[in-house]
Amino acid sequence: MAGSTLEELKQIVLDFDMDKAEAVAKQAIAEGADPLECARALTDGIREIGDKFGTGELFLPDLVCASEVVKNALPPIISEIEKQGKERKTLGKVIIGTVFGDIHSIGKSMVATLLFAAGFEVIDLGINVKSEDFLGAVREHEPDILAMSALLTTTMMEQKNVIEGLKKEHLRDRVKVIVGGSPINQEFADSVGADGYGATAPEGVKVARKLLNKSDKGGG
Amino acid sequence: MRRGFRLNFEPVKILTDSQIEAIHRASLDVLEKTGVKFESERALKLLEQNGCMVHYDEKIARMPPSLVEECIRKTPSSFSVKARNPKNDLRIGGNTLYFMSSAGARYTDVETGEVRMATMEENDQAVLISDALDTIDFFPSYTPYFEIDGVPPVMLCPTSLASRIRYTSKASRGAQATDTYIFETQLAQAVDMQLVGVCEAAAPLSYPEDAINAAFEYAGAGFPIYIAAGSVMGGSAPVTAAGATISNNVELLAVVVLIQCISSGIGICANDFVTPMDMQSGGFLFGAMGVNLHQMAFNQLWSGVYRIPTVNTGAAFSNSKLIDYQSGYEKTHTAMASALSGANIIVLHGGVTAELAYNPILSIINDDVANIIGRTIEGFEVNDETMAVELIEEVGPVPGTFLNKTHTRVNWKKEYFVPEVADRLSYQEWLQQGRKSAIDLARERMKEILESHHPDPITPAQDRDIEKILEDARKHYRKKGLM
């Protein structure tokens, strides 16, 4: 019984079934399924989608829609985890956002979704994020990684501003910094003092794992 | 049957009704007063029996307008072609667009643009690759190479057709060179397929004996006929688009009359292969703007008014010696103008260096071009699902997004065409993956096709029949002293 409930949770992700997501999750909890197992079933589903996106079998709308399913299904499961006093294991916590002056969201959202699919906890600050908001979020959430996106040559220097801000506030050694976006390359990442750079969204995930010494398998 | 593409809107008209009428009337006038030369007693007699005024010494037939218009009416607006595999049968005409492979005399080196004679193996491979390309519906005669190492010139056409029968089950056009039509008809019949026969004029206003004999032979076998009257504007046709349209019209209408007199109601497709002349070298300008003007007028008149299926050869070749920007734009602008104006067949894939060269890598790139053009003329659906009004309201202004909607996930593949070999990587990925161009990607696709594609096989008995017919052809040409 519990097995088939967990299978169904995974299946709604694979079926991109956003409408059913919340009801299936609530049903699973009502039937007494282990909420940690429920969360893992969703993560298994989104990881499968993420892998297929990485190999070119699936596309951006598939990835984003599958992640919507997880977003819709997760709240009743998380609240049950908290109610039972349990703790959800993740690969680590990532804060992500597109820098100030830049309103491009698609690349950043792809990375956020793939990080989530890989088993990270992701806090997405959105687009046009001011330096002080990145710093405030780092202070508040104490993430393992800060990931910043910039799509314009005019906004890429904002990534440097944030890193300088981290230094000034004595936060730099408490968080790893990843930068990305189409004008960014490894040379730029090194020059602004970032810890990592990924040319593509799947590479961004690899870099995140590497920085936290996590293998390519497992998590969730 | 192959689906091809379907023109979903009124074809673009480059001429007014009044201009169309003027060109048609002028064509009838030239046919009646000047007439057309047929280097064949058999053809002249038949035309005389059907009401033409024939001058035997000059070999000229002058045609009454009533006969010309009657023969236009007798020609069907579409006809079927039986391929070696029924899945590849064609129905040419109406609002259907098919693409035909181009050709070239020799094999061109993609890096250097240098040409050399192709080997038999390269010819067979090129046919196999074209068999795998979904947008190639139809093959011309001697495809793709006009010369094959070790094959005597007189045996080229039958040898080429044998290669096409073995390495593709798609439809083919026959050739009209000396007696080849006899053996090509036999080759087609040995595998129970039809050819589209051929009859090509020698502009201005003349038909050589080989062309006429080919028309009689192919029509006698019950094959439809592909008529053509290639001319060069300023050389074998007037330099003006209007004048060249009339002289080309006269040549083609004259052979419509002849073919309908040979076999009433037979299917015909008319090829437009008129190019401006380079006024410095005298060469053909295959990718010139003038080709568009001529082909658009031709399609309007033949597909639209005469209701006789049209073929356009303007996109078949480029004057560029390389697979480069020029060959890309010359082929695409001419093919697009043809498609928008209602052509039924566009000759496109693989030809460069004027008619001198071919390379399958270009055919693979042109496969994407053909899909883009074909999908464009099919237009798009407008209904409740595609208009997505409720969704637009639901998403609302920024930060709303359509990316996380099922509507996007479900519909994008139906609405998009994703090219096989275009480079669409981000700059950084492109650097990482070895800076590959469309040509590099096409080379990779070619390798995949050669490793994995298997054409529909012929039976061992059919293979033996083909060898026997080729041997008969060799004996025939030796006896004639041609090899």
Asked if B335 and B370 touch (Cβ cutoff 8 Å), the reply is yes
Q: State how far the alpha carbon of B244 is from the alpha carbons of A212, B23, B231, B303, in Å.
A: 74, 10, 8, 18
> What are the tens digits of pLDDT across the range B402-420?
999 999 999 999 999 999 9
Give the DSSP H or E segment for A123.
Answer: strand A121-124
DSSP state of B284: B
- CA-nearest residue to A15 within chain B is B406
pLDDT of residue A190: 95
pLDDT of residue A182: 86
- Contact between B408 and A199 using a beta-carbon 8 Å cutoff: no
Query: Could you give the CA distance from residue B202 to residue A22 in angstroms, rounded to a whole number?
Result: 75
CB contact burial A74-99 (16+ within 10 A = b; e otherwise): bebbeebbeeeeeebebbbbbbbbbb
DSSP state of A104: -
Q: Nearest Cβ partner of B428 from A60, A62, A182?
A: A182
pLDDT of residue A1: 45
Query: Could you give the CA distance from residue A172 to residue A19 in angstroms, rounded to a whole number?
Result: 42
- Contact between A64 and B404 using a beta-carbon 8 Å cutoff: yes
Q: Nearest Cβ partner of B406 from A16, A105, A182?
A: A16
Residue for token pair 């390309």: B133
Stated pTM of the model:
0.91
Asked if A160 and A128 touch (Cβ cutoff 8 Å), the reply is no
What are the strands of the beta sheet with B206-207, ordered from one edge? Answer: B53-55, B60-62, B36-38, B206-207
Q: For residue B89, which phi and psi values (nearest 5 degrees)? A: -60, 155
DSSP state of B402: S
Residue B186 has pLDDT above 70, yes or no: yes
Q: Chain A residues with CB inside 8 Å of B405's CB? A: 61, 65
Count of CB pairs separated by less than 8 Å, A with B: 40
> What are the tens digits of pLDDT across the range B187-230?
999 999 999 999 999 999 999 999 999 999 999 999 999 999 98
> What are the tens digits of pLDDT across the range B413-467?
999 999 999 999 988 889 989 999 999 999 999 999 999 999 999 999 999 999 9
Q: Nearest Cβ partner of A106 from B403, B412, B428?
A: B403
Which of residues 286 through 345 in chain B touch A, CB cutoff 8 A? Answer: none
> What are the tens digits of pLDDT across the range B119-161?
999 999 999 999 999 999 999 998 899 999 999 999 999 999 9
Residue A153 contacts B, CB cutoff 8 Å: no
Q: Which domains does chain B have, with CATH numbers?
A: 5-14+72-378 (3.20.20.480), 384-415 (no CATH)
pLDDT band at residue B35 using 50, 70 and 90 as cut-offs: very high
- Contact between A61 and B403 using a beta-carbon 8 Å cutoff: yes
The alpha carbon of residue B128 is apart from the nearest alpha carbon of chain A, in Å, by 27
Mutation target among B427, B428, B432, B441 for the A interface, most CBs of A within 10 A: B428
Query: Could you give the CA distance from residue B474 to residue B483 in angstroms, rounded to a whole number?
Result: 8
Which ipTM did the prediction report? 0.83
Q: Chain A residues with CB inside 8 Å of B415's CB? A: none
| Tokens representing residue A65 in the block | 């829609």
Mean pLDDT over each residue of chain B, to the nearest integer? 97
| pLDDT mean values, one per 10 residues, chain A (220 residues) | 82 96 95 93 92 90 92 92 90 95 87 88 94 97 96 91 96 96 92 93 91 64
Residue B429 contacts A, CB cutoff 8 Å: yes
Give the DSSP H or E segment for B219.
Answer: helix B209-220
- Strand B310-312, strand B345-349: pairing: parallel
Mutation target among A17, A58, A60, A207 for the B interface, most CBs of B within 10 A: A60
**Which amino acid appears at position B434 of this protein?**
G
| Tokens representing residue B266 in the block | 């037979």
- Strand B138-139, strand B171-172: pairing: parallel
Whether omega for the bond prior to residue B204 falls within 30 degrees of 0, making it cis, is yes
Nearest to B273, CA basis, from B322, B195, B371, B203: B203
pLDDT of residue A216: 54
Query: Could you give the CA distance from residue A23 to residue A27 in angstroms, rounded to a whole number?
Result: 6
pLDDT of residue A215: 62
pLDDT of residue A2: 57
Give the DSSP H or E segment for A139.
Answer: helix A131-141
pLDDT of residue A220: 40
The three-class DSSP label of residue B79 is: strand
Sign (positive or negative) of CA dihedral B238, B241, B243, B249:
positive
- CA-nearest residue to A199 within chain B is B428
